[in-house]
Structure formats: structure tokens, C-alpha cells
Chains A and B, each alone.
Chain A
Amino acid sequence: MQVGFIDYGIIAIYFAFVLGIGFALKRQMVRSEDFFLSGRSIPSWITGLAFLSANLGAIEVMGMAANGAEYGIMTAHFYWVGAIPAMLFLSLFMMPFYYGSRVRSVPEYLKLRFNEPTRAFNAISFAVMTVLMSGINMYAMALVFKLLLGWSMTASILVSASVVLAYTILGGLTSSIYNEVLQFFLIIFGLLPVAIIGLANAGGWAALLTSVPPGFGELWRHTGSIHNPMGVDWLGILSGLGFVLSFGYWCTDFLVIQRALAARNLSAAQRTPLIAAFPKVFFPALTVLPGMLALSLIPALGSNTTIYSFNMALPLLMAKYYPSGMLGIGLTAMLASFMSGMAGNITAFNTVWTYDIYQSYLAPDKSDSHYLWIGRAATALGILVSVGTAYLVMGFPSIMDYMQMVFSFFNAPLFATFLLGMFWKRCTPWAAFFGLLAGTLAAIGHFLLSHWGFLSYPSMMAGNFWRSTIGWCVNFGVTVFLSFLTRPKPEAELAGLVWGLASASIAIAEPWYKRPKVLAAIIFAMAVAANLLFW
């Protein structure tokens, strides 16, 4: 495979556009709210695609393909049992509280609903998590560039970091969101041909299944026991992935919620995850399928830990089938996906840092322009720290395992806090704090026990699923128990924050195709159909 000057040219043109958008938006970043929340003025098709794209980082593109090669179509559980139901739940049941309460971040919601310590705990753990995650993207990008272009790890990390730094510092969240949408289309156009051509070369779906290990083509048929490619039974899938991990991620992670908060009104905010869910139903064709194809078409895949690791499934497939020219588009698509994943984490990090840590505890009552300046400084700092975490990720065998491990510590327990906080008005502030603390500690304890060999699972992923379930259950149990021992907040303070105590909302008359409930029903039917199709 050769990378020609045309491929470099394509990458250069893409960089020029990305920076151009940053410069074009710079003039509009006057107030801190413009920078962190895009002035709450963005149409829902844009926030929806950005919502999707902020997740479409290395984890999704390379990680899901790697998992497809490792576990087969069961990887699609991350979509059809995991992400989709959680996105619908976020839209219908949780968005009214996030958007309706006019908070600027997820930790800020916890402050209103509970108390300062709960918010501080969440803000700090979230800040740690985002920089850990953003490092994955940088590492993955460096890996691809090293193998395909021959750049050194450090050079590719520095190039990607400086581009993301430039456009997020210039245009803030709007620039990040705009670039995410641009990246979304590039990713689709860059990845779709490899799936089509790969499938044609493999001789179609039925022929593909004969050349991959048994059980790779079925979602549920072998989940009566743990004797299936993933080593998890249906209960583990439904509770660990379907309920705790996915809901924990999609419903509480500020990285995704932030995109919806930038929408024009509540209805547009509710539509944001729904617009993202439509393409999401089809994504396994772009990620899981190429992984399975790579396993069949590239015999050496999985044979060693560097060039032929499962993480390289997608890049290897592109290198095999794309001619110079298309290869540039494919590389740009991967580059775009890493940058959107990184920028998503960084914009969420700078908001939480500035509003929930700096303004709340370190330097309250400063001018708005001061916070805008701090936001820009935090962007630079966040990227700098991510460069460090990129080197940390290098020590892990699979990026997906690394990510689900990080989620099982932070997101999985947190979801219990949100569920109780939003739907049970008796839930008290201190119970929430200690429940969250206990849940997080339980997840860490579980990790240490399995790390030292006291607990063992058929695969690292199975351990992640069960760790999440345990963290969630401990948090749920402790929070409920302590709620009965402590004093709840008076109902007057909870208006608009808890189910059943909604502040008066104005219903907007909208055509049927814009109504969240209608859209959600259609998407739900599509996800059910996908599950049945590959049963």
C-alpha cells in the first residue's frame, strides 16, 4: 500500500476546513455562555448529529471493529440493546429535567437536586474521566498514523493535538459541534465503501459466516449459557450492558448531554438524542461488519499485538482495498473520528472545570470574560493532560476494554443516583452523596479483587459488565437505605428537577414527525426489528 501525495492533499484540505470553521466562529464567542453552551441556539439536526459524532471517536470506529473481529455480531448488542434504548430514555424521561432546569452541566444538576458535595464529587470524577477518555483517541490516531503513514507516535500525537486545540480554543462548543457534524459525514463517506467492497469480496453475508468462528452471526441464540463468543449470558448482557453501562453512559455523561443543552428549546433538546439514534441503528454495518470482514479477509488479524492487533481491523481493511485517493478519504475519516472524540471530551472537560470546579470553589464572582479566558486555558490544559493519558492507554491490550473499565467506575454507579434523583422525590442529598461514593468504591474494589485474581471472568468484557452491575446495585441500595434515615429536601426546592414535580411547561404545537414520542416509537421498532433479524 502506498500513500500518495493526493492522500496528503486530502488530509490537508480537511485540516484547512476544520480551522476555517474555528476562525469563522471566533467572532461570535463573546460571552462565556457562547463558548460553553453555544448560546443555546443550535438547530436540532446539528446537535443530533454532533451528539452522535462526539461518540464516534476511536472507541466506536476502531474499538467496535476490533470487537466485531473478536466477538462477532454480538458486538451489536452495544447498539441495539445498549445505546438505542438508553438514548430513547434520555430523550423522553430525562431531558425535560436537564434542559428544563436550565443547568449548564450535569454536575450542576446534582447540585440543585442534591447538594454541593455530590456535585463536587461528580465534577472531579468526570474531569478525570474525560481526560482519560480523550487520551484513547489520541493514542488510536497515533497508532494509525504510525502504521499507515510511518509517522512517529509522538509526531502524530502532537499534530492531532494542535489541530483540536486550535479549533476548540477559537470557537468553543459551537466550533466543536460544527466540526463534529462535518466529521460525521466524512466518517460515513470514508467507511461505507470499505464495508460494501469487503462484503462483496467475502461473497456476501452467508459466505462470510462460513469463514468466521461459529456463533459469530447470532445475537441471542447462544446466550442461554456463557458458551458464546463474548462469554456473557443474556442476563449479563441485559443488566450489565443493556441497563447499567449504556444508560449510565448515555443518560448521565455530560459529553453527550452538553450537545443537547445547546439546542434551541426543550423539544429540540429532546429530539437531539433521537436524531442521533436513527443513524445509530445502522452503525453496526459501518463498525461491527468491517471487523468481521477483516477477520475473514485478513488471515493474520489477531496474530500479534501491534500491526495485526484487532484494533487495526478497520485500517488494515482500508489499506487492502482502497486505492490512493480513496485511501486519503478513509484516513481523513479516521482522523475526523479521533478528533471529534477528543474535542467532545475536551469541550465537556473545559465546561465542567470552569463552571463546576473553578467558578464554584476556586474563584467565584469573577467577570464573565475571566471565565471565558479560563475556559480557553482549560482547553489547552485538558489537551496537554490527554497527551499524557495517550501514553497510558498504550499499556492496554484493547481500547474497548480500557474504556468500558473506565465507564464501570464512573458512569455505572452514577446512573443509580440519577434514576433515584429524578424519579423519587424522597431521595435525600446526603444519601445520594454516600450512595455514589459507595458505588464507586464498590466498582474499584471489584476491579482490585479481579486484578488480584480473587474473581475471574471468561473475558475482560464480562468482568466489566458485572462490575458495572455491582457498582450500580451498591449505589442504589445504599442511597435508598440512607434516604430513609436522612431528611429530604422540601418539595418546593425540587420543582422542575424531579418527576411529578414539574415546573409549568408550555406545550408547543408541532407536526407529528417532530414529536419526540412518535420518533422514539419508530426508533424502538427499528431496534427490535434488528434484534429479531440477527437473532
Chain B
Amino acid sequence: MLDLRLPIGWLFIILGSLVAAWGILKPTETSCGAISLNLNLSWGLIMLLFGLGMTFLARLNRQSD
């Protein structure tokens, strides 16, 4: 059956890179209320990492089968 970690991984890779790229292209939007933070860039990268981790786990699993 379809390994669920693959679609999860790919979705987060795509969404994470998209949001991070948006954060680089539009760096003007860097305030979250009183806090100065490029939320798109930082959280996008975290999502990207999570996505890569998921696809990596799926690959590990396939190799061990």
C-alpha cells in the first residue's frame, strides 16, 4: 500500500519551499505584531526540513524491505 510518509513529505517540501521563497522575495513583511521576524522564511524552512525528513524515513523503510 501507498507509504503515507511520501505524500506528507512531498506536500511539506513543496509548501515549505514556496513559503520560504515568498519570505525571501517579499522580505518587507517581517513584523509579527511587536516582534521582528521573517516568519515566512523561518517557518517555511522548518516545514521544508520536516518534509525532507519524512521522505528520508520513507526511503529508509523501502531499502530495508
Contacts and interface: CB of A to CB of B under 8 A. Distances in A.
Contacts of A25: 1-2
A132 B3 CA distance: 33
Contact of A13 (B1, B11, B39): B11
Interface residues of B, number: 28
B19 interface: yes
A28 B1 contact: yes
A321 B33 contact: yes
Interface string A13-52: 1100100110011001000000000000100001000000
B46 to A, nearest CB: 8
Interface of chain A: mostly helix, strand, loop or mixed: helix
Contact of B40 (A46, A185, A323): A323
Given A9-B18, A25-B2, A329-B19, A181 B8 contact: yes
A201 B36 CA distance: 11
Given A10-B18, A201-B32, A321-B33, A326 B1 contact: no
Given A41-B1, A193-B39, A326-B43, A185 B8 contact: yes
Contact of A325 (B23, B32, B50): B23
Contact of A201 (B2, B23, B29, B35): B35
A143 interface: no
Contacts of B22: 6, 324-325
The 6 lowest CB-CB distance pairs between A and B, nearest first, are A323-B29, A325-B22, A201-B33, A325-B40, A197-B32, A321-B32
Interface of A: 6, 9-10, 13-14, 17, 20-21, 24-25, 28, 41, 46, 174, 178, 181-182, 185-186, 189, 193, 197, 200-201, 297, 320-326, 328-329, 332
Interface of B: 1-2, 4, 7-8, 10-12, 14-15, 18-19, 22-23, 26, 29, 32-35, 37, 39-40, 43-44, 46-47, 50
10 contacts: A6-B18, A41-B1, A185-B12, A189-B12, A197-B39, A322-B32, A324-B26, A325-B23, A325-B40, A326-B39
Given A17-B11, A41-B1, A181-B8, 19 more contacts: A20-B7, A21-B2, A24-B2, A28-B1, A178-B7, A189-B46, A189-B47, A189-B50, A193-B39, A197-B33, A197-B35, A197-B37, A201-B32, A324-B22, A325-B18, A325-B40, A326-B19, A328-B19, A329-B15
